[in-house]
């Protein structure tokens, strides 16, 4: 077994670690680090940073995140379908219309259930 065959793999791993670690180290060393109350204030998550991780908070944050991921993944199917629409023919068109109908029914359902209402 010749170790020269594994050199490209080792080099790939080292470059990957370097690309991931070097910018973070440079940012920490070179960038000014002056946290103030504005920087440490809640942002998009709704609760104070650096508090107890087991504190209770509103479930709506999870619900919005899950719905975003769900609809984001569903819309990811639209691009390949649009690219290959001619090759798929009518069967592909009908299949995608059924998919879009399910998409609309799901969106209507979560809308009527009030999942998108923020009080």
**What integer pLDDT is reported at residue 25 of this predicted model?**
94
**What integer pLDDT is reported at residue 52 of this predicted model?**
65
Length of the chain as a residue count? 119
**What integer pLDDT is reported at residue 15 of this predicted model?**
96
**What integer pLDDT is reported at residue 21 of this predicted model?**
95
Sign of CA dihedral 44, 47, 51, 54: negative
List b or e across 80-118, with b for residues whose CB sees 16 or more CB atoms inside 10 angstroms.
eeeeeeeeeeeeeeeebeeeeeebeeebeeeeeeeeeee
Report the alpha-carbon distance of residue 104 to residue 116 in Å, rounded.
15
**What integer pLDDT is reported at residue 30 of this predicted model?**
92
**What integer pLDDT is reported at residue 88 of this predicted model?**
87
**What integer pLDDT is reported at residue 43 of this predicted model?**
63
Q: Give every CB contact of residue 59 below 8 A, 6+ residues apart in sequence.
A: none
**What integer pLDDT is reported at residue 106 of this predicted model?**
85
Which of 7, 114, 11 lies closest to 64 in space, CA to CA? 114
pLDDT in tens, the chain (119 residues): 677 889 999 999 999 999 999 999 999 999 888 877 777 666 655 555 566 667 676 777 777 788 888 878 878 888 888 888 889 889 989 998 998 898 889 889 888 888 777 76
Task: Quickly tell me which residue has 């920087």 as its tokens.
Answer: 39
- CA 91 → CA 18, 19, 77, 104, distances in Å? 48, 45, 16, 20
């Amino acid at each position: 077994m010749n170790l020269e065959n594994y050199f490209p793999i080792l080099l790939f791993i080292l470059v990957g670690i370097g690309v991931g670690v070097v910018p973070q180290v440079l940012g920490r060393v070179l960038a000014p680090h002056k946290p103030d109350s504005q920087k440490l204030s809640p942002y998009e998550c709704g609760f104070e940073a650096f508090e107890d991780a087991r504190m209770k908070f509103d479930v709506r944050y999870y619900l919005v995140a899950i719905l975003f991921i769900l609809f984001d993944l569903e819309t990811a199917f639209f691009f390949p379908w649009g690219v290959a629409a001619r090759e798929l023919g009518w069967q592909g068109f009908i299949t995608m219309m059924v998919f879009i109908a399910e998409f609309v029914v799901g969106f209507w359902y979560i809308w009527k259930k009030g999942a998108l209402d923020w009080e």
